[in-house]
Amino acid sequence: MEDHPRPQLHVPAPGLVSGPPADAIEVREPDTGLLVDRVPVLGEEETRELVGRARAAAGPWSDLPLRARAAHLKRLRRLVVERADEIAETVSRETGKPPIDVHVQEILVACDHLGWAARAAPRVLACRRRGPPLLGTHRRRVRWEPYGVAGIITPWNFPFVIPLSAAVSALAAGNAVVLKPSELTPGPARLLAELAARALPDPDLVLVATGDGRTGRALVDAPVDVLSFTGSVATGRKVMEGAARHLTPPILELGGKDAMIVLEDADLRPAARAAVWGAFFHAGQVCQSVERVFVHRSRHDEFVRLVLEEASRLRAGPRRSGAQIGALTRPGQLEVIEAHVRDARERGARVLLGGEPSDGEGRFYPPTVLSEVTPDMRIMREETFGPVLPVAAFDDEEEAVRLANGTPYGLDAYVWTEDRGRGRALARRLRAGSVMVNDCVTNYGLSDLPFGGVKESGMGRIHGQEGLRSFAYPVAEAEPRLRPPRQPWWFPPADRARWVKAWLHLRHGAGLADRVTGALAALRQD
């Protein structure tokens, strides 16, 4: 394979420190192997230096009123719209997905998040009064303070929208950010930093530490003031250990093995189309991918027929070839998918479509549909992160819930039914951070909803008001309404014990009579 001349897409890399890098990484197109870029692996000292610069920028930024910060975020949104084609090309080259997918799945969603955060932050993060307006011992308020510097470590599958989503919440809350993009796809984060440098008052508010796991570790240990990590469960554990060393609050967005349950009354055509899209877009390299489908036995064969009809129209291939499914971005992912499909076959699954990697150069795997899959198979327990759709039958709702909840993951879950009440009731029994009825995956684009998982899919939330508040801590403010020379609870002389007990009964007795008699009895005590 021939090396490609370094493209001019990349920006002067805001956030990169000068001087020779300790090490460098080659970024290559996954569908052709062509060299896209060489980026430095920042070491501990360089990463700490970036965090120091970000910290200096964070102070004046957090002093700005919320509405002024929101205006800067809107400016960033305008720049993203202006540079949409360049962003799409950068993401497409480094991930292998078709540029149109980048427009739909990353740029549109990113702009929605930017717009929502700019509108909502002044309300969600405003200082608010608590407690009764006139009564009570103290006047109370809660205000939200930024942590300082947010370290944001991200994966390769959505290399623009994932860093942007976390960065936008962190910035709206008044933090500066240091991004550590995946070593496979550093370009989009660098482009984001360039746009942020133009939209925000200080170019050090969004800095990029390129590198691999070593740089990620260095960022955790810099340390930063709040950590947002998106990636695998295995790395998430390490990041959490690092966060524990510094007592840094972590937000962990980890893997998924999302289930779709199709009930007997479902409209099968859209359900099958959704399952095919949810399993195969971006070659299944999506944490929210439909990785398991459970269909009521009475509709199983019909559903599988419709899935095959839809899926057999799709093709995996290079991003400019007209194929709907692009390359597998991560070296090594093909082997994981092959191992899962082989294991399923050996344990009795039927391969109805695909099942063999495509011939020729590049990492491609064809859309693959399996039936007669069972919970013991790896394909039903572990994250496959490939274009494979395993379908199993169930007999009743109890079984469907048990099967869907039967993995260590809990990111998203989807239910398909014509009875919305039944769908909601069933969805409430699924252990997942997000549930959808009659749709899948698109919840990530609904900016006012919190996004995140339970169990091994992680903790903490991005998006929505919960996401904005993940990057800020609440400060409780209180002032006494009355200021006597001595408050009744300050070192009370022993003879005040009666009054304290009377007050306890008056405030917390079971009913009015109980309160009064209890208080009088306490006052009469010696």
Q: Which residues are catalytic?
A: 253, 287
Compare residues 55 and 257 and give the one whose CB is closer to ligand NAD: 257
CB-nearer residue toward ligand NAD: 217 or 319: 217
Nearer to ligand NAD, 263 or 411 (CB): 411
- Residue 44 CB, shortest distance to ligand NAD, in Å, is 12
User: How many C-beta atoms surround the C-beta of residue 421 within 10 A?
Assistant: 9
Burial, 107: exposed, middle or buried (Cβ in 10 Å; 0-12, 13-18, 19+)?
buried
Please, what is the minimum distance in Å from the beta carbon of residue 395 to ligand NAD?
A: 30
Least distance CB 372 / ligand NAD (angstroms) = 26
Distance CA 99, CA 88 (A): 5
Longest dimension (CA), the chain: 95
Q: How many residues does the chain have?
A: 526
Residues forming contacts to ligand NAD in the complex (CB under 6 A) are 153-157, 162, 180, 182-183, 212-213, 216-217, 220, 230-232, 235, 238-239, 253-256, 287, 330, 383, 411, 453, 458
Q: How far apart are CA 190 and CA 16, in angstroms?
A: 9
Q: Are residues 80 and 107 in contact, defined by beta-carbon separation less than 8 angstroms?
A: yes
Paired tokens of 215: 């740089």
Q: Which residue is nearest to ligand NAD (CB)?
A: 216
With tokens 């370094």, the residue in question is: 6
Q: Could you list the beta-strand ranges (E) of 349-482.
A: 350-353, 368-371, 388-394, 412-416, 434-437, 458-459, 472-480
Q: Closest CB to ligand NAD among 92 and 235?
A: 235
| Structural contact between residues 103 and 113, judged by C-beta atoms closer than 8 angstroms | no
Contact 385, 233 (CB under 8 A): no
Rounded to 5°, angle at Cα 94 from 88 and 99: 30
The least distance separating ligand NAD from the CB of residue 352, rounded to whole angstroms, comes to 25
In the complex, what is the shortest distance from the CB of residue 259 to ligand NAD, in angstroms, rounded to a whole number? 15
Least Å from the CB of residue 212 to ligand NAD: 5
The residue among 30 and 458 lying less far from ligand NAD, judged by its C-beta, is 458
- Smallest gap from Cβ 410 to ligand NAD, in A, equals 11
327 C-beta neighbours (distance < 10 Å), count: 26
Tell me which H or E stretch contains 171: helix 161-172
Task: Report cis status (omega within 30 of 0) of the bond before 223.
Answer: yes
Which one, 231 or 367, has the nearer CB to ligand NAD?
A: 231
Q: By C-beta, is 157 or 417 nearer to ligand NAD?
A: 157
Q: Do 83 and 191 meet the contact criterion of CB atoms below 8 Å apart?
A: yes
351: helix, coil or strand?
strand
